Amino acid sequence: MELLGNDFLAGMLAIVLLDLVLAGDNAIVIAMAARALPKPLRKRAVFWGSFGAIAVRALLTTVVVYLLELPGLMLAGGLLLLPIAWKLLQQHADSQQEVGAATSFWAALRTILVADALMGMDNVLAIAGASRGHLPLVALGLLISVPLVVWGSTLILKLIERFPVIVYIGAGAIAWTAGHMLASDGLISDWFDARAGAAYALQTALVIAICGGSWLLQRYGRRTASH
């Protein structure tokens, strides 16, 4: 993947999109953990929590990138991403995280780092798949997206509420990444390589199944509720 080439830029945009859509809950956790602190300490907790989140996320993603090179793990990762995409569409409107407010700077920082590490595995898996093993791309994507998520969380959540299509685009990107991971796994990649367009067909089918299936389910639920 050539630095600043079309594939690199497309991959970086995909990583930023995935992180923005997936990390809304993480931003809420950060805000809730720091909400009881005095304003100066609150800003420090958010800043250093964001810095720590970048470091933790980068470390986890690097480990996952190397692990996904093992046969079968790319296949498993792709399968794990599909329910993440589905859950994102089903629960984005009413997702709530119950996190107690910390009463000291270090307690808030610890809460932020632990919560981000535990809740960020969906982001890590999606980013590792979208990066196609390109670690500089992972680093750039995280450096851009994590501060955007933390400092722009209110704006992001308002945009998602006003334009729900953003969530569908994000879920579609996750499903597309899952399809790429499935088709690229060493256990079955030869089958896809021997059939031109098979990988794209799989990716397209997964996007339609996840986004279209969720839209139809929600429409049916609204129709049932109105009767």
End-to-end CA distance of the chain: 54
Confidence of residue 104 (pLDDT cuts 50, 70, 90): confident
Count of positions (residues) in the chain: 227
Burial readout 154-190 (b: 16 or more C-beta within 10 A, e: otherwise) = eebbeebeeeeebbbebbbbbbbbbbbbbbbbeeebe
Residues 41 and 96: their CA atoms lie apart, in Å, by: 24
DSSP label at residue 210: I
Is the pLDDT confidence value at 220 over 70? yes
Report DSSP letters for 25-45, one per residue: HHHHHHHHHHTTS-HHHHHHH
Other beta carbons within 10 Å of 213: 12
Measured in whole angstroms, the distance separating CA 120 from the mean position of its chain's CA atoms is 8
Is the pLDDT confidence value at 101 over 70? no
Single-letter amino acid code for the residue at 71: P
Give me the pLDDT at residue 212, please.
92
* Average pLDDT score over residue span 207-217: 91
Confidence of residue 96 (pLDDT cuts 50, 70, 90): very low
Counting Cα atoms < 13 Å in the Cβ hemisphere of 165 gives 1
Confidence of residue 165 (pLDDT cuts 50, 70, 90): confident
Is the pLDDT confidence value at 15 over 70? yes
- As given in the structure block, the two tokens for residue 142 are 């995280």
Is the pLDDT confidence value at 26 over 70? no
- As given in the structure block, the two tokens for residue 213 are 């299936």
